[in-house]
Amino acid sequence: MKKVAIVISGIFILFLVGVIIISRNHKLNASLFPKKFKIGMILCGSHENGGLSEAHYKSVLRVAKERGLVLEFFENVPYDERCREKIEELIYDGCQVIILDSRYYEEYSIPASEAHPETGFINSYGSGFSENYLSFSGRMYQPNYLCGMVAGMQTENNRIGYLAASPATELICDINAFTLGVRKVNPEASVYVGYTESADGVLLISRLVESYGIDVIMNNTYTDTALRYAEKRGIWSIGCHMDHSDIYPKSYLTSIIWNLDDFYDKEIMSCREGRFTGENIKMGIDSSFVDISPLTENVKPGIAEVVNKERERLKNREFDVFYGPVYDSEGVLRAAENESIPDIELFNNLNWFVSGVEFYEFKQEQNSK
């Protein structure tokens, strides 16, 4: 009996040891599968605004779904300390990369990146960079130039409207490029610019139409308000950030678009794998980072051929929009023949306009009443 008891006790001890080993192995195996990687986004507008924020949100969402990652975001975040607060919330919640869709967030996101060196930061249209902070811009002036060519050949009365979000340097660059495209194919046309910065978009575009009788409108704002107006009023429209041809079939011509999926996939995965490196990136049509959407059936015959030929020149880097000679509206030579205005000037210091740009003083008119 004593021997039997010893055997039974031995078996029991082995059983307990086995349970412990299995339990420990289970914990070790579980450690091989980390929690899902989290992406955080700070959006200046709504994720369904039909413009910039939606374009960036949808690209990141596609990457998250394809990679099995988690996406958390805050929308309509103002350009103040609340941006920093939302960044901290996302990091506290476990987000390992923070993506922001506006240059105006840099004042708050750069200090946050310094406080959280283990977190990757990606800022659209920014200029700052560090070991864990990447900023990027698209050479949107290139598709703006092509859209200007479309507008210049589509207009019947040589009066084209351009709605811009603000007088920021990169938008001045876009307006100039668009106007150079218009004037290349139609030297008699003028571009009437209105800023939506402190004005209602619908009221501003209606005033532009009433004041100048424009028949083509270029929308370079954060939403698709101008496109909705154009569809109702029978005005040709050109969009920005996304292709809206399926939403506005009667008036839509083309759009400036981003191709962000591959870029976000590369940078998000580099964060996940510990290979992320901060830098300042600028990419154009040659890399397909920005482009124009396919021209719709609303575009006049013959326009597509002209625009596609010019697009190929840009894509092959045979030519760029601000190759000289380039003159401003006062006749001052800004780029001589065989010279080009560099990116640092176009994105940071541009404060002049080319000939053909006219302004509608919406705020001045409101204040005078």
Q: What average pLDDT does this structure show over 216-221?
A: 94
What's the pTM value of the predicted model, to 2 decimals? 0.84
Listed ranges 51-55, 82-86, 124-128; the one with the highest mean pLDDT: 82-86
Torsion of CA 7, 12, 15, 20, to 10 degrees: -130
Question: What band does 163 get if pLDDT is binned at 50, 70 and 90?
Answer: very high
Residue 7, C-beta contacts closer than 8 angstroms, at least 6 positions apart: none
Least Cα distance to 48 among 57, 40, 59 occurs for: 57
As a whole-number percent, the residues of the chain with pLDDT over 70 amount to: 87
pLDDT (average), residues 231-236: 95
| pLDDT single digits (tens) 144-158 | 999 999 999 999 999
Rg of the chain in Å (alpha carbons): 27
Mean pLDDT of 317-336: 94
Q: Give the per-residue pLDDT at 31.
A: 32
Tokens (6 digits) for 289: 């980072």
Per-residue pLDDT at 235 exceeds 60:
yes
Is pLDDT at 162 greater than 70 in this prediction?
A: yes
- Spatial contact of 212 and 161, defined as CB atoms under 8 Å apart: yes
Run of H or E including 5: helix 2-31
Domains observed in the chain: 38-138 (3.40.50.2300), 141-256+288-367 (3.40.50.2300)
